Each structure stands twice: as structure tokens, then as C-alpha cells.
């Protein structure tokens, strides 16, 4: 019995605390300590506690961990950025059962073995030793044993000093056991432990390169608990490509490693143009975000916008929504380039067909049920119905104008050639009249359709009806000319 008690007293107990992601490191620490023990007093005089190996399946872990901590001579905490859920519990128990409050820092048998910045080490390690893992020389897995000057570098490294402290605390392995091999053995163990950190990090993300133009919108819970609009202070983080599409040059924070960012209010203010108080694609995105927050399906119709620099047409597509326990929400948006929709074949025949399609689109959307269209803006409509009608008008106008760009109808000179020189004045007038009518409408619309006074609502209704009346007459003439010229082209092609 006395021999067993003496053996237990001489045994070095090492408790290794680690996150599951760092298991490979914990096992390497155990392996190297065991091999060093075998070079000295013997492996039987070292006991390492690893929860995955030391706690039998189905057993309550708290009593087993507490018992192991009561026996522990050393508490080794491994930290690579992943903190064990039990780390704080284990350090707390150890500090109670084996307090070392009055001991100098270098005499406390607790250390955090880490490869991260000092300020990222968990606060529970405050007041204890930290051992930084670093490669003192390049590691070659084909040659795990250090040699020459490399031996001294690893022997004097922070990990080498920690191993010497553990081995000497109960004379588990000292230079007296093997004067010629001791330094080499400590150096080899330190090198292998440091290399295990590199091996454990093989699954770490080295870099990320966005391949799509994307935005992340972070929204904190409103004070009244009801999500209605995106707060202007909400932060948008995005790829450089996304902000380039929007015509913004936002710097990348190299010091903090942050992607370009802007607030929702700043983005709306930046994109607002004279005579164009509303930004339909942002309004539509805001509606879909509110629907997503309420766990409802997004509205199906797209609202497109034109890239500020490349003049291509894009759609803002809401792809993902995250809700956090603190009420914060994060929405992920892709800015997707639309497909090239120009027709294959004779360019001028295609432009005539495109003109016919666009003029028909306007007729079907606004003018075929003319009186029904006008009643959408009547004073008898509720404010909500009026707001919806105004927004839908903007959505439809943007959609059809951008569709014209996608199909190539924005090239007035090519359109003049398609309709013939004899119709040059009429075609140019279509473009100028449209531009003038649109600018007049935008200049008379309010910045927002919400909370309108009766006077502003009446003013908006008058502006919309006047605009649609002018465009109705213009579109009828354009549709007639397009039909005539396309039919003429088809007759010529058939003869």
C-alpha cells in the first residue's frame, strides 16, 4: 500500500483542456509527454487527462473532471481561437481545489498553449501563464527530428521551456537521466507539438474571394419591436464589385480587414438623383426584406436598375435571412446581371420587332383598361392603396425602360435607321417627349409616398394622370408606326 501511495505521489498528472477542433494538438501533447516520461522515470509515472479518452461513455462528466483536476499537477489549456465549452469550468474548479493566488506567475502550474494574438486569449486565463507556439525554424514532416543549431532553438523555445518545467517538477525526465540525449528529446517534442498546431489548422480558411456582387445588410431590432422599414443607420457591407455597380468607391479597411461598407441612409442619399426622389429597386428590396422578416414570401415581380458605370441592367435578389438571438437580423443580397436579350438576326428588323413589343407592353400595362388604371389614384382609395399604386407605377416604368435597354432600344441612332430616314423626326420626338414627360413627372412626385397630406396626394395624382395621358397618346402613335414598319419589313422579306 505504501509503495502504491509513493508511486501516486511521484506521478505527474497533466490535465489537458481543449476544444474538439484542437483534439489533434491535445493528443500530440499527450504523446510527447508520454515519450519524454519513457526516457526518464517511465511512462507509468505520467497520467494525462483528455476528456475524450478519460471519461467512459454514459458517465457523468462533472465528478470525473473534478476528481482529475484535484489530482492535476499541471493544467494545460490549448487555444487556437476555439474555446472549449468547459474551459472556464475547468479553470474555475482548478483555482478552487488548487489555489495559487500568492504564487509568482512563473510558478503557477497553469498555462495556455496558444498560437493566437495575446489579446484574443479568453479572459479566464488572466493571471496565468501563456505559452506562444511559433515555428522557430521551418518544419519538414519528412524530417521531424531537429539537428544542429535547430536543437538549441527548439530547446529554448517557449514550448521547450514548458516541457522542461513539466518534466522537472517531479523529476519525470531530467538531464541526469540521459545527459547526451535530453536536450535533443525536449527539442524534438517541442517541434512536434508546434507542428501539430499547423496540422490542426489545415481546415482553417486561408482566404475568401467573392465571385458575385453581393451585399450584407445588418438590421438591429427596432425600439417598438415592429419591423417596418430599414433604419437609415443599418450597415451594408459588400464586395467592391457590388459598390462599383452602384457607382461608389468605398475604401477597404486594410487595418481592420473590413470589407467596404456604407449605411442604408447614406446609400439612398448617394443614389438619389435630381428629379428622381424615389429609388424603386431599393424600395422593392425594402419591402421584400420586411416580408422575409415576417417569414412571408417575397413579391415575385422584379425591379431592375441600371449600373452606374457599365450601363448594364441588374436585379437585386434577396437570397438569405439570418435572425440572431439578440434580435439582430442579417440579409444577403446579390446584384445579378440580366441576360443579354437582344434578338439574333437582322439588326434593324429586330429593332422594329422590339419597338412593337415595348409599345404593346405599355398598352397592355397601362392603357388597355384606361379608366380602370386611372381609378387606382382616385381620392376614394385608401392611403395604402394609393401608395401601392404609385410604387407599382415606378416599378413598371423602371422594368419596361430597363427591358428596352436590355433589348437594345436605347440606341436612338440605330432606331432611326431601322424606321427609315423619312421617320427620323418622329423617332427622335418619341425619345425627347418620353424624356421630358418622365422628368416632369419625377420633379412633381414627393420623396416618399407615405404620410402624404391631402394636398400632396392630390398633386401626385395630377402629375401621374397628366404623365399617363401624354404617354398614352405618344404610345398609340409609336405602336401604329411600329406595326406599320414591321409589317412592311415582313412583306419585303417574304417576297
Q: Is residue 208 in some structural domain? A: no
Task: Order across the sheet with 129-132: list the strands.
Answer: 46-49, 12-17, 74-79, 110-114, 129-132
Same domain, 70 and 153: yes
pTM, entire model: 0.51
- Check whether residue 141 and residue 14 sit in a common domain: yes
Residue 209 inside a domain? The answer is: no
**Final residue belonging to a domain, choices 337, 363, 384:** 337
Strands across the sheet with 304-306, in order? 261-263, 235-238, 214-219, 329-337, 313-323, 304-306
Asked if residue 355 and residue 326 are part of one domain, the reply reads: no
Do 319 and 371 lie in one domain? The reply is: no
Per-residue pLDDT of the chain (495 residues; tens, 9 = 90+): 445 455 567 899 999 999 888 999 999 999 999 999 999 988 899 999 998 888 888 888 888 999 999 999 999 999 988 776 677 788 888 888 888 777 787 788 999 999 888 888 888 888 888 898 887 777 666 666 777 788 999 999 999 999 999 999 999 999 999 998 999 999 999 999 999 998 888 877 776 666 788 899 999 887 666 677 889 899 999 888 898 899 888 755 444 456 778 899 999 888 887 766 678 889 889 889 988 988 888 877 667 888 888 878 888 989 999 998 888 999 999 998 876 566 667 888 888 998 999 999 999 999 999 999 999 999 999 998 998 899 889 888 888 888 887 787 888 888 999 999 999 999 999 999 998 998 899 888 887 788 889 999 999 999 999 999 999 999 999 999 999 999 998 888 776
Residue 404 belongs to what domain range? Answer: 347-494
Q: Within 13 A of 81's CA, how many CA atoms are on the CB side?
A: 8
User: What are the residues facing 321 on neighbouring strands?
Assistant: 331
Same domain for 407 and 488, yes or no, is yes
Does 120 lie in the same domain as 199? yes
Given 203, 230, 253, the domain boundary residue is 203
342 within domain boundaries: no
Tell whether 378 and 450 lie within a shared domain.
yes
Number of structural domains, the chain?
3
Q: Is residue 398 part of a domain?
A: yes
With respect to residue 375, please indicate whether it lies within any of the assigned structural domains. Answer: yes
- Is the domain of 332 the same as that of 353? no
One domain, residues 449 and 469: yes
CATH code, domain carrying 46: 3.40.50
Last residue of a domain, one of 169, 203, 237: 203
Residues 47 and 153 reside in one and the same domain: yes
Amino acid at each position: 500500500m505504501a509503495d502504491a501511495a509513493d508511486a501516486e505521489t511521484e506521478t505527474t498528472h497533466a490535465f489537458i483542456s481543449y476544444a474538439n477542433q484542437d483534439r489533434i494538438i491535445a493528443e500530440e501533447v499527450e504523446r510527447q509527454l508520454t515519450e519524454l516520461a519513457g526516457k526518464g522515470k517511465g511512462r507509468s509515472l505520467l497520467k494525462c487527462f483528455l476528456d475524450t479518452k478519460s471519461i467512459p461513455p454514459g458517465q457523468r462528466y462533472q465528478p470525473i473532471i473534478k476528481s482529475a483536476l484535484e489530482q492535476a499537477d499541471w493544467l494545460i489549456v490549448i487555444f487556437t481561437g476555439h474555446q472549449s465549452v468547459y474551459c472556464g469550468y475547468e479553470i474555475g474548479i482548478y483555482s478552487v481545489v488548487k489555489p495559487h493566488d500568492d504564487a509568482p506567475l512563473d510558478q503557477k502550474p497553469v498555462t495556455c498553449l496558444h498560437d493566437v494574438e495575446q489579446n484574443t486569449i479568453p479572459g479566464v486565463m488572466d493571471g496565468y501563464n501563456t505559452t506562444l507556439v511559433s515555428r522557430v525554424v521551418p518544419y519538414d514532416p519528412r524530417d521531424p527530428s531537429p539537428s544542429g543549431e535547430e536543437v538549441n532553438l527548439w530547446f529554448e523555445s517557449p514550448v521547450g521551456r514548458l516541457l522542461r518545467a513539466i518534466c522537472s517538477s517531479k523529476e519525470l525526465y531530467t538531464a541526469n537521466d540521459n545527459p547526451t540525449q535530453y536536450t535533443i528529446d525536449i527539442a524534438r517534442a517541442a517541434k512536434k507539438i508546434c507542428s501539430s498546431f499547423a496540422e490542426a489548422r489545415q481546415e482553417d480558411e486561408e482566404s475568401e474571394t467573392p465571385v458575385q456582387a453581393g451585399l450584407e445588410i445588418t438590421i438591429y431590432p427596432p425600439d417598438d419591436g415592429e419591423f417596418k422599414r430599414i433604419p437609415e443607420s443599418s450597415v451594408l457591407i459588400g464586395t467592391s464589385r457590388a459598390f462599383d455597380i452602384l457607382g461608389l468607391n468605398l475604401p477597404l479597411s486594410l487595418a481592420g480587414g473590413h470589407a467596404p461598407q456604407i449605411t442604408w441612409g447614406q446609400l439612398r442619399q448617394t443614389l438619389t438623383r435630381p428629379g428622381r426622389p424615389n429609388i424603386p429597386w431599393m424600395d422593392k428590396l425594402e419591402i421584400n426584406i420586411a416580408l422575409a422578416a415576417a417569414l412571408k414570401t417575397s413579391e415575385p415581380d422584379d425591379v431592375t436598375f441600371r449600373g452606374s458605370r457599365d450601363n448594364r441592367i441588374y436585379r437585386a435578389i434577396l437570397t438569405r435571412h439570418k435572425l440572431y438571438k439578440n434580435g439582430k437580423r442579417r440579409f444577403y443580397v446579390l446584384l445579378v446581371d440580366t441576360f443579354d436579350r437582344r434578338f439574333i438576326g437582322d439588326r434593324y428588323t429586330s429593332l422594329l420587332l422590339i419597338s412593337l413589343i415595348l409599345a404593346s407592353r405599355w398598352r397592355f400595362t397601362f392603357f388597355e383598361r384606361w379608366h380602370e388604371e386611372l381609378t387606382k389614384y382616385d381620392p376614394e382609395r385608401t392611403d395604402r392603396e394609393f401608395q401601392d399604386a404609385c410604387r407599382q407605377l415606378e416599378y413598371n416604368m423602371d422594368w419596361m425602360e430597363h427591358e428596352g435597354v436590355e433589348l437594345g432600344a436605347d440606341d436612338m441612332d440605330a432606331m432611326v435607321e431601322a424606321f427609315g430616314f423619312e421617320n427620323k423626326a418622329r423617332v427622335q420626338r418619341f425619345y425627347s417627349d418620353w424624356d421630358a414627360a418622365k422628368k416632369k413627372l419625377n420633379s412633381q412626385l414627393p420623396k416618399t409616398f407615405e404620410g402624404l397630406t391631402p394636398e400632396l396626394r392630390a398633386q401626385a395624382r395630377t402629375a401621374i394622370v397628366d404623365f399617363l395621358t401624354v404617354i398614352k397618346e405618344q404610345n398609340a402613335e409609336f405602336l401604329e408606326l411600329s406595326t406599320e414598319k414591321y409589317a412592311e419589313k415582313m412583306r419585303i422579306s417574304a417576297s
